[in-house]
Amino acid sequence: MQVDQQYGSKGFGRLTRGAGLFLRNSFGSLFSREFIKVLIPLLLLWEVIPRFDILPRTLAPTLSDVALAFRDMVINKGLLLHILYSLGKFLAGLLIAVFTAIPIGIFMGWNLPIRKHTLPLFQILAPIPPPAWVPLTIIIFGIGLPMQIYLIFLGAFYPILFNTYQAIKDTDPRYLSSARVFGASELTLICNIYFWNALGAIIMSVKTGVAIALVMLVIAEMYGGRSGIGYLLVEAKDFFQIPAMVVCMLVLGMIGWFSIEILKFAELKLALWKVGR
């Protein structure tokens, strides 16, 4: 009761509490006491080994070199802006993939004739690894934002589509019978039964999609991007700026980790009703 009065029981209060729970879960699980015991020595080794030339320092930068490069990139190269650009493209491609693959997957799983007409096409196109699409994509879209978003979308699309349609297809027919007997229309079935039953599998597939989309983000920005972390990475590589490369790698890793944590949090919220048999 006290908490509600302090933060308000709806809206903003729930949001901050949810955010707090999320941060505590994600950072807490990563920086647990046990891992800190391993992490601190590793960081020390990272700092020390290049200094004593066990590994050459200019090829294996120390932690402080990387930190300095990070500071330099933030101040001089607008790293934060590039991060924003990358995130924007990543989210755009991912959201387009989610909002196209899930509906198509639902339709394909729900109705056999639809599936018979459409599935073989996807089964032919899906095995083509997304990086192989790059030349064709450049021809069609040119170099620039549409090409990058398309490649990211392509990376995320197929895992989400296949897992969604499979989960919908495998809905237990007894749930459907239960609803049909009471007169449920197909639309009601889709919205209330098919979708919710498959939601767990859908979120897992989005996790896979995120992983591939992140790879495609870097590849897309390498091929003629002018902005974004992938572009900074290639630029650093071309001019032998090793610490800057490490900074880019770490930033990309953090973006990926953060996305997966958000999805894990969503899964946690759904676990409430998961039937534990």
Partner 1 sequence: MEGGEMIEARRISKFFSIVNKEGIAEGLTACLSVTLSIEKGKIITLLGPSGCGKSTFLEILAGLQAPSEGEVFIDGVRVLEPLPSTRAEMDAYRKRYRFLSPLANDLFRDRPKHDIAMIFQDYAVFPWMTVLQNVTFTLKLRGLRRAEREKQALFYLNKVGLGASLHKYPSQLSGGMRQRLAFARALSVEPKAILMDEPFAAVDLLTRERLQDDLLKLLDSSGITIVIVTHDVAEAAYLSDEIIIFSPSPGTIRNRFTIDVPRPRRRDHPELADIQERISRLLKYDIDNESEYSI
Partner 2 sequence: MVTLLLVILCVVFAFQSTQKLFSPKAIIGHNGSPLLAFLYAADEGDEGREAFTAAKFNSSADVGYALLSGTIHAGFIEPEKALELSRLSGFDNLVVLGKVTFPYGVTVITKKGSSLRLQDINGHHIGVPSDNPALLKEFTTAVSKYPVQLKQVNYQFLPSDAIIPALDAGKIHGAIVKGSKSVIAISDGHNILFQKWDMEPGNECCPPVIDQLEFVLLAQKKEQTRNRALVEILTGSAALNPSVLRAALSRAEHVPETLFADLPLASFELADNQLLSLFSQHSGTDHHK
Q: Which residues bind partner 2 (CB under 8 A)?
A: 41-42, 45, 49, 54-59, 65, 226, 237-242
Q: Which two tokens stand for residue 180?
A: 């049909």
Q: Please give the size of the binding site for partner 1, defined by CB under 8 A.
A: 27
As a whole number of angstroms, the distance between CA 233 and CA 229 comes to 6
Task: Work out the end-to-end distance of the chain between its first and last CA atoms, rounded to an integer number of angstroms.
Answer: 34
Check binding of 121 to partner 1 (CB under 8 A): no
For the CB of residue 114, give the shortest distance to partner 1 in the complex, in Å: 8
Residue 124 contact partner, candidates partner 1, partner 2, none, CB within 5 to 8 A by sort of partner: none
Strands (E) across 7-157 are located at: none
Residue 172 interacting entry, from partner 1, partner 2, none, C-beta within 5 to 8 Å by type: partner 1
Q: Report the partner that residue 242 touches, choosing among partner 2, partner 1, none (CB closer than 5 to 8 A by kind).
A: partner 2
25 burial level (CB within 10 Å; 0-12, 13-18, 19+): middle
- For residue 101, give both structure tokens: 């693959």
Q: How far is the CB of 81 from partner 2 (least distance, A)?
A: 16
Between 120 and 144, CB nearer to partner 2: 144
- C-alpha 87/C-alpha 93 separation (Å) is 10
Decide if residue 199 touches partner 1 (CB under 8 A).
Answer: yes
CA atoms of 232 and 222, how far apart (whole Å): 9
**Residue 159 or 243 having the CB closest to partner 2:** 243
Distance CA 90, CA 216 (A): 9
For residue 145 the two structure tokens come to: 């934002």
CA distance 252 to 129: 21
From the list partner 2, partner 1, none, pick the one residue 197 interacts with, judged by a Cβ distance below 5 to 8 Å according to partner type: partner 1
Provide the minimum distance between the beta carbon of 91 and partner 2 in the complex, in angstroms, as a whole number. 25
Among the candidate windows 28-36, 132-140, 186-194, 259-267, which touches partner 1 by CB under 8 A? 186-194
Closer residue to partner 2 (CB): 167 or 236? 236
Counting contacts by CB under 8 A, is residue 177 touching partner 1?
yes
Query: Which residues of the shown chain bind partner 1 in the complex (CB under 8 A)?
Result: 111, 113, 172, 174-175, 177-188, 192-193, 196-197, 199, 272-276
